[in-house]
């Protein structure tokens, strides 16, 4: 069996920036074990698999360790592959996923994703969290999926040096760290060691929580955001009530064939 595979840098202005994802188009679903093995072999933060079902695509995401319910950058990468390599001309791509239907529009060289908005509730900052992150946040929140630590400055975010073993023991799937910024509306970093991803370079799904939070904090609905990982990535976001728009660019890094 041979399968096409694409490696795409999402939320990127050029190769070696943004967040790399592998994308594997399928005609029919493989076994869960086989898809998990492919994702582990790729050793990227996520590998996306999709199957076209008429006017929409079923989409699933795997880290090297497990399947996840939502992944922003691999969704953007999948839409990029569909438009650039599969002769797709409709104005929007519709994905059916474990998180419901996701809609992706192509606007020039940018891809705009319609994702759910996730609320957060404030919780007490604990020594356990401060020790895991290496610095005590000003505020701490728990969301529908992730924990979010709010710091006072961008410099604190950039200088974080977490203990990933301790972070992996915290509640939530992702540990999102964020702060206001002079050059952007806000900056963030996201750590996911429990899922085999010490630091995710650019995390679209984290902005399902970040955008509603900063909308309330800053009193605005449109944001120019930056994820301050080593690779870095820019996201343009919009708060729309129970949905968020997350937009960015993508670029192909590699295409090839998996031989099984």
Query: What percent of the chain has a predicted confidence (pLDDT) above 70?
Result: 100
Catalytic-labelled residue, pool 46, 154, 195, 199 = 46
CA–CA dist 145, 142 (Å, integer): 8
Determine whether domain 120-241 maps to CATH 3.30.260.10: no
Per residue in 194-231, pLDDT (tens digit) is 988 999 999 999 999 999 999 999 999 999 999 999 99
What's the average model confidence in pLDDT over 126-143?
A: 98
- Two tokens at 122? 């404030």
**CATH number for region 2-115+247-259:** 3.10.310.10
Q: Domain boundaries in the chain?
A: 2-115+247-259, 120-241
* pLDDT at residue 22, rounded to an integer: 99
SS3 assignment, position 162: coil
Common-topology check for domains 2-115+247-259 and 120-241:
yes
**Is residue 46 flagged as an active site residue?**
yes
Whether the CB-CB separation of 187 and 154 falls below 8 Å is answered with: yes
Per residue in 64-116, pLDDT (tens digit) is 999 999 999 999 999 999 999 999 999 899 999 999 999 999 989 999 999 99
């Amino acid at each position: 069996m041979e399968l096409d595979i694409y490696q795409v840098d999402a939320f990127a202005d050029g190769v070696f920036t943004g967040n790399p994802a592998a994308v594997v188009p399928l005609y029919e679903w493989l076994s869960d074990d086989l898809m998990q093995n492919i994702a582990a072999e790729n050793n990227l933060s996520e590998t996306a698999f999709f199957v076209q079902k008429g006017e929409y695509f079923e989409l699933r995401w795997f880290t090297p360790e497990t399947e996840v319910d939502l992944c922003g950058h691999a969704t953007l990468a999948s839409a990029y592959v569909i438009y650039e390599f599969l002769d797709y001309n409709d104005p929007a791509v519709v994905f059916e996923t474990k998180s419901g239907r996701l809609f992706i529009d192509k606007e020039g060289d940018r891809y705009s994703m319609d994702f759910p908005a996730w609320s957060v509730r404030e919780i007490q900052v604990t020594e356990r969290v401060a020790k895991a992150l290496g610095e005590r946040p000003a505020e701490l929140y728990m969301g529908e999926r992730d924990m979010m630590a709010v710091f006072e400055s961008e410099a604190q975010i950039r200088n974080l040096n977490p203990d990933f073993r301790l972070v992996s023991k915290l509640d939530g799937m992702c540990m999102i760290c964020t702060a206001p910024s002079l050059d952007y509306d806000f900056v963030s970093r996201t750590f996911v060691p429990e899922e085999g991803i010490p630091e995710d370079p650019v995390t679209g799904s984290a902005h399902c929580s970040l955008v509603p939070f900063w909308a309330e904090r800053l009193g605005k609905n449109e944001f120019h955001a930056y994820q301050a990982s080593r690779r870095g990535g820019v996201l343009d976001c919009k708060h729309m009530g129970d949905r968020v728009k997350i937009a960015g660019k993508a670029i192909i890094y590699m295409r090839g064939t998996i031989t099984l």
